[in-house]
A and B are shown apart, each in its own frame.
Chain A
Amino acid sequence: MTRGVPTLPLLGHACLDADLAWRDGERISVARFLGDVHRLAALLPVGGHVLNICADRYRFTVGLAASLLTGKISLLPSTHTPETVRQLAAFAPDAFCLADGVCDIDLPQFHYPELAGADHAGPIPAVAADQLVACVFTSGSTGTPVPHRKTWGALVRNAAAEAERLGLSPAAPHAIVGTVPPQHMYGFESTVLLALQGGGAFWAGRPFYPADIAAAVDAVPRPRVLVSTPFHLRTLLAAGVPLPVTDLVVSATAPLSGKLAAETEARLRGPLLEIYGCTETGQTATRRTALTAEWQLFRDVHLCIEDGQAWAYGGHVEQRTALGDILEPTADDRFLLHGRSADLVNIAGKRSSLGYLNHQLNAIPGVLDGSFVMPDDEQIDGATRLAAVVVAPGLDRAALLHALRERIDPLFLPRPLLFADRLPRNATGKLPRAALDELCRRLRSDPA
């Protein structure tokens, strides 16, 4: 496959004095970043797998780079419930947790240390393209998270393709403000890797309230990019705060309506590009949602449909990969998105499957039968919640919710949680959707 040992640089910045981050009002240069990376690399424990939960985006990135240089694999699970952490520990017994705050995760802890803050004279390190650097987990459908292994080469090619599409480059450095965490695949790609490979800089914080987001964007130099989600954008616009000029807005995790996209462009005075992608393939397409419903594939990435199943291949997509969405190609490099395949669940950017959630629900002692229910009226630009119907005569609501919280991400906790004497299973044991909906309607109107 490869001749020699091809390497790719840790970052694409033009010089050591270039900006890499803003933190506590302070500008952090590439040289200072490299100094912190080398010092942290010398201090990290020996374990070969890192669960990097640093909330501060700068510390997360220093942790990621130090892990790269010491050959450690970063674990990126979709949630940190006790059950997931147990599964992570079984997957990687040498895993430790790198944290910059209070942390109750049941893994050996390594607290992000105070670093001396001295510059490093370079050179910019290079990392082998075939080095395994991250394991990103999806929930799978059987109760065990499925690892997706990412090499440095694949991540860099993906970030380069994204930077090209968004118009970011070391010759035109952008400042990135993200409302999404660096541990989420989207935030990992579009704030951390995009800044590293696009020669830009990021805001170390993760602004939360609308006024915080406006202040963070206003605090970084132009050209600037806001990396966000439909939900955050909707609350940002609705809050009625003055919004700074934003040269580019990026949205992902859930479909954005054309109306919210147009309104965002008008209020932030910059174009909005929506990103399409998934954990398995990384990002593969974008669209200017205010102008078109059609998605445009990244250069060299291709799409094919076989028996209704969409596959992506080419470019940074290393293997032909099945997609969990229903797609309709409209040209060689364009497609329309017609929703998710039935089993997939996506709430505020967290993805799971009904199969996984039902498995976890039914694994709780005392639950005789139970099923999650996807609502019909999925909210556009908002957050949808799941319902669940459970047969558990010996359990009360609080005990059941407590047990579920141990197993599934809080975003998937059912609202409402309904109790029934039995579920309307048919002769083959299946739960017809119509019968389940009817039962939910009846239980909701008569909760007794």
Chain B
Amino acid sequence: MKEIAPASPAPDNLDALRLEVAGIIVEALNLEQAPESIPPDDSLFGEGLGLDSIDILEVALVVSKRYGFQLRADDDDNVKIFRSLRSLTEYIASHRTQ
């Protein structure tokens, strides 16, 4: 599996962005847990945080508005971007326009 390469954000910024994205997930889905408690590398769906495709579209909507770009699935694996909090954060970092 190829990792999605981030553009070139500094590690500190990426950590801050990750927490911000975790906050978006928690708020968009009314999850009953703190953003800091989402492990960066755990799966966001299935056995991990337990998100499904409905949740992913909800989060994608907020992400597209907040960061000014539309998410695209370039292959059959629609939810690859959402594999983990880290992969989502890196995808946002390399695609954001605002």
Partners in one complex: yes
Within the complex, what minimum Cβ distance (angstroms) separates A240 from chain B? 8
Q: Are B71 and A383 in contact (CB under 8 A)?
A: no
| A113: chain B residues within 8 A (beta carbon) | none
What count of chain A residues pass the 8 Å CB interface test? 30
Q: Which of A56, A383, A447 contacts B54 (CB 8 A)?
A: A383
Q: Which of B30, B47, B76 contacts A402 (CB 8 A)?
A: B47
| B54: chain A residues within 8 A (beta carbon) | 231, 348, 383, 411
Q: Indicate with 1 or 0, residue by residue over A404-440, a CB within 8 angstroms of chain B CB atoms.
A: 0100001101011000000000000000000000000
From 18 to 76 in chain B, residues with beta carbon under 8 angstroms from any chain A beta carbon are: 30, 32, 46-47, 50, 52-54, 57-58, 60-61, 64-65, 70-73, 76
Within the complex, what minimum Cβ distance (angstroms) separates B6 from chain A? 20
Q: Are A56 and B61 in contact (CB under 8 A)?
A: no
| A122: chain B residues within 8 A (beta carbon) | none
Q: Does A210 contact B (CB under 8 A)?
A: yes
Within the complex, what minimum Cβ distance (angstroms) separates A187 from chain B? 14
Cα separation A202 to B2 with both chains bound (whole Å): 31
Within the complex, what minimum Cβ distance (angstroms) separates B95 from chain A? 11
Q: Are A209 and B57 in contact (CB under 8 A)?
A: yes
| A241: chain B residues within 8 A (beta carbon) | 70
Q: Does B94 contact A (CB under 8 A)?
A: no
Q: Which of B30, B47, B70, B76 contacts A239 (CB 8 A)?
A: B70
- In chain A, what residue has the closest Cβ to B64? A239
In terms of DSSP, what is the predominant structure of the interface of chain A? Answer: loop
Cα separation A56 to B57 with both chains bound (whole Å): 20
Which of B52, B53, B57, B79 has the largest count of A CB atoms less than 10 A from its CB?
A: B57
Q: Does A245 contact B (CB under 8 A)?
A: no
Q: Are B73 and A416 in contact (CB under 8 A)?
A: no
| A210: chain B residues within 8 A (beta carbon) | 60-61, 64, 70
Q: Are B78 and A208 in contact (CB under 8 A)?
A: yes
Q: Are B57 and A212 in contact (CB under 8 A)?
A: no
Within the complex, what minimum Cβ distance (angstroms) separates B64 from chain A? 6
- In chain B, what residue has the closest Cβ to A209? B71
| B32: chain A residues within 8 A (beta carbon) | 416, 447
Within the complex, what minimum Cβ distance (angstroms) separates B96 from chain A? 15
Q: Indicate with 1 or 0, residue by residue over A200-243, a CB within 8 angstroms of chain B CB atoms.
A: 00000111111110010000000000000001100100111100
What count of chain B residues pass the 8 Å CB interface test? 21
Q: Are A212 and B72 in contact (CB under 8 A)?
A: yes
| A447: chain B residues within 8 A (beta carbon) | 32
- If A55-B76, A238-B61, A239-B61 touch, whether A410 touches B50 (CB-CB below 8 Å) is yes
Q: Does A101 contact B (CB under 8 A)?
A: yes
Q: Are B70 and A101 in contact (CB under 8 A)?
A: no
Q: Does A368 contact B (CB under 8 A)?
A: no
- If A238-B61, A402-B47 touch, whether A212 touches B52 (CB-CB below 8 Å) is no
- In chain B, what residue has the closest Cβ to A100? B76
| B76: chain A residues within 8 A (beta carbon) | 55-56, 101, 205
Within the complex, what minimum Cβ distance (angstroms) separates B42 from chain A? 12
Within the complex, what minimum Cβ distance (angstroms) separates A65 from chain B? 21
From 40 to 74 in chain A, residues with beta carbon under 8 angstroms from any chain B beta carbon are: 55-56
Cα separation A413 to B48 with both chains bound (whole Å): 13
Q: Are A211 and B50 in contact (CB under 8 A)?
A: no
Q: Does A128 contact B (CB under 8 A)?
A: no
Q: Does A92 contact B (CB under 8 A)?
A: no
- If A211-B71, A239-B64, A411-B54 touch, whether A405 touches B47 (CB-CB below 8 Å) is yes
Q: Are A401 and B50 in contact (CB under 8 A)?
A: yes
- In chain A, what residue has the closest Cβ to B56? A208
| A238: chain B residues within 8 A (beta carbon) | 61
Cα separation A209 to B47 with both chains bound (whole Å): 23
Besides A208-B73, A212-B73, A241-B70, 20 new A-B residue pairs in contact (Cβ under 8 A), listed by A number: A55-B76, A56-B76, A207-B73, A208-B78, A209-B60, A209-B72, A209-B73, A211-B70, A215-B72, A231-B54, A235-B60, A235-B61, A239-B70, A240-B64, A240-B65, A383-B54, A410-B50, A410-B52, A416-B32, A447-B32
The 18 listed contacts between A and B (C-beta, < 8 Å) are A205-B76, A207-B73, A209-B72, A209-B73, A209-B78, A210-B70, A211-B71, A211-B72, A232-B57, A235-B58, A235-B60, A240-B64, A348-B54, A402-B47, A405-B47, A410-B50, A411-B52, A415-B30
Please give me the 8 A-B residue pairs with the lowest Cβ-Cβ distance, nearest first: A211-B70, A208-B78, A209-B71, A383-B54, A235-B57, A208-B73, A410-B52, A348-B54
